[in-house]
Amino acid sequence: MSFNYNDLMRTSRLLKRIAIPVAGLALACAVWIGVSILLLPSVKPLSNPRTSLVITVKDWNRKDHPFVLGPRNRNWTPISAVPPSLRKAVIAAEDANFYTHEGVDYEAIREAIKADLKKGKFVRGGSTITQQVAKNVFLSREKTISRKVKEFVLARRLDDVLTKSRILELYLNAVELGPMIYGVGHASRYYFGKTPSELTVRESAFLVSMLPGPKVYDPYRKLDRVMRRSDRILRRMFAARMITEEEYKGALAEVPNIAGLERKVEKTMESSPPEEKPPVTLPEGGPVVIEPGGGEAPVAAPLEGREDPP
């Protein structure tokens, strides 16, 4: 094969023409993401347990609704009123390393990537409880690299500023557990007619089993699927010594009582449920903090201080 200098030069010029715009695009994306990170709101206001926020949630028809996250929500459940069984079930199911990682669990991300590559599709996310709080409070649900980077940054900031108990409290009060059923306080009353503090070990695992998505794990249409996942959660709790053998066996033998509520989800979807009237209007720029004294405050103060996790 003879060496052709002209062909080599043409190839080189072609590569340069391709490389320059690609490099420019990559630089522009990096700058855009960097600026987006600089403009992220402060997480400091969330450290005050008396503060309420107005965030956006979606119903099952993908319509946006304002939602009050904090003591001004009548279903708000402080972490002290969440039974140990519910807290342990969430940790066992969603984030086993919650108390040891710093907001982001890199090992879980690596395992998720391996699982996704093995299956050839997206099967695991690897998001921590802290990342889910960052997403639920500050970010949209769009699946983009930019949003994921923001989620990482906010999760690290949340872990720096808030205690683990406070992060878990925010998470449990913002998770979706049914059609316009957000938070464990609302869910425990909706499904079982009781407060979270009254939940049994089985009922705790039952609620947590719906966390991947209450449409997929709908107890009224797919009760067997929900029960199987709650069984797996109970096994994890027992294996991790979160519950005793007696509690484990008793929970397995219990069938959650949801009789008489079979049409509740369908009725809720047919007509929009009455919304809690928020004390402020939700802005387009993100959540509004409602200060304990009643005034509104932008989430824009610089980060400072740290509370050590328990």
Structural element, H or E, at residue 34: helix 5-38
User: Which residue segment(s) compose the domain that 116 sits in?
Assistant: 40-297
Q: Is 308 exposed, middle or buried (0-12, 13-18, 19+ CB in 10 A)?
A: exposed
Check if the beta carbon of residue 71 is closer than 8 Å to that of residue 50.
Answer: yes
Check if the beta carbon of residue 117 is closer than 8 Å to that of residue 225.
Answer: no
Give the global pTM.
0.76
Which among 277, 276, 273, 297 has a CA at the least distance from the CA of 287? Answer: 297
Of the listed ranges 230-239, 256-265, 281-290, the least confidently predicted one is 281-290
**Phi first, then psi: what are they for 66, rounded to 5°?**
-75, 145
CATH label of the domain that carries residue 250? 1.10.3810.10
Of the listed ranges 41-55, 243-257, 282-296, the least confidently predicted one is 282-296
Instruction: For the beta carbon of residue 214, count every other beta carbon within 10 angstroms.
Output: 21
Question: β-pairing, 64-69 with 296-297?
Answer: unpaired
Asked whether residue 69 is domain-assigned, the answer is: yes
pLDDT beyond 50 at 167: yes
Asked whether residue 4 is domain-assigned, the answer is: no
* Structure tokens that stand for 130 in this block: 């802290």
- CA–CA gap between residue 200 and residue 205 (Å, rounded): 9
Running DSSP on this structure, what letter comes out for residue 58? E
In one letter, which amino acid is 94? E
Confidence of residue 231 (pLDDT cuts 50, 70, 90): very high
Q: 31 CB contacts (<8 Å, ≥6 apart)?
A: none
Asked whether residue 134 is domain-assigned, the answer is: yes
Q: Please give the pLDDT value at position 255.
A: 84
Asked whether residue 25 is domain-assigned, the answer is: no
Confidence of residue 72 (pLDDT cuts 50, 70, 90): very high
Which among 154, 174, 151 has a CA at the least distance from the CA of 41? Answer: 154
Asked whether residue 6 is domain-assigned, the answer is: no
Asked whether residue 275 is domain-assigned, the answer is: yes
Q: Please give the pLDDT value at position 150.
A: 87
Q: What is the mean pLDDT of the chain?
A: 78
Asked whether residue 174 is domain-assigned, the answer is: yes
- Please state the domain count of the chain: 1
pLDDT digits (tens, 9 = 90+) for 95-105: 999 999 999 88
Asked whether residue 77 is domain-assigned, the answer is: yes
Q: Please give the pLDDT value at position 147.
A: 81
